[in-house]
Amino acid sequence: DQQVKQNSPSLSVQEGRISILNCDYTNSMFDYFLWYKKYPAEGPTFLISISSIKDKNEDGRFTVFLNKSAKHLSLHIVPSQPGDSAVYFCAASRQAGTALIFGKGTTLSVSS
Amino acid sequence: DTAVSQTPKYLVTQMGNDKSIKCEQNLGHDTMYWYKQDSKKFLKIMFSYNNKELIINETVPNRFSPKSPDKAHLNLHINSLELGDSAVYFCASRSAGTGELFFGEGSRLTVL
């Protein structure tokens, strides 16, 4: 049973445009959400996080939005750059200290 | 200076063999994890250790045995390898403050 779902396996965007990656979760106990980025042959690296007390967190070109009532979060990247091409994983946990549950990932391709 | 390092990076072996993957972190974190990324690309939690004690053991066959000699190391030993064990195994450690996971580069295990 997937508690964290990323229903789009891939996304293609042109350089300079906005990339929007979506994530849905089913467990209402989740209160901490993270996005990870993964290049081939490397481990996932932390990108940005948000706790359930917020609905938006911004870090440079990256913004995460959380809609608790819809159990949905999204990652916005603007402007997108070719170096952003990677697999993006959404992850959630019940507290900041417990194990992260990951989605299946979305492969983002940014073309120049 | 690598924060979370795993060895070996690649491992090819025959069915029925026993193999180990080592993991070390120099971040001073108390909690370490093993995740498995299978052919469907899901990142699934396998084990979690906090300060050398097992705190999470997902439904993993008992052929898999984690060993934590100290809080900076979490090794994974696999007995009687099966074809289905072929995957990329990621070690991670967690920051108690932010809840962020730091991943190693992964160890790709291929069972023939």
Among the partner residues B33, B40, B96, nearest to A97 by beta-carbon distance: B96
Q: What is the mean pLDDT of residues A51-68?
A: 96
pLDDT, tens digit, 9 for 90 and up, residues B64-109:
999 999 989 999 999 999 999 999 999 999 988 778 899 999 999 9
Query: What does chain B look like in DSSP terms, one character per residue?
Result: --SEEEE-SEEEE-TT--EEEEEEE-S--SEEEEEEE-TT--EEEEEEEETTEEEEE-S--TTEEEEEEETTEEEEEE-S--GGG-EEEEEEEE-TTT--EEE---EEEEE-
Q: Would you state the pLDDT for residue A77?
A: 98
Nearest CA in chain B to A100: B45
Q: How many angstroms separate the CA atoms of A64 and B84, rounded? A: 36
pLDDT band at A52 (very low <50, low <70, confident <90, very high): very high
- Quick one: pLDDT at residue A74? 98
Segment B21-55, tens digit of pLDDT:
999 999 999 899 999 998 878 899 998 988 878 88
Using DSSP bridges, classify how beta strands B64-70 and B73-78 pair: parallel, antiparallel or unpaired.
antiparallel
Written as six digits, the tokens of B41 are 């690309």
Give the model's pLDDT for residue B97: 76
The label of the residue with tokens 């917020």 reads A54
Q: What is the pLDDT of residues A69-93, one digit of tens each?
A: 999 999 999 999 999 999 999 999 9
How many Cβ pairs within 8 Å bridge chains A and B? Answer: 55
Numbered residues of chain A with Cβ closer than 8 Å to any chain B Cβ: 32, 34, 36, 41-46, 49, 87, 89, 91, 93, 95-97, 99-102, 104-105
Q: Using alpha carbons, select from B6, B42, B94 the residue that is nearest to residue A43.
A: B6
Question: What is the per-residue pLDDT for B57?
Answer: 76
Q: How many CB atoms lie within 10 A of CB B70?
A: 9
pLDDT at A96 over 80: no
Q: Which residues of A touch B102 (CB under 8 A)?
A: 46
What pLDDT was estimated at residue B56? 78
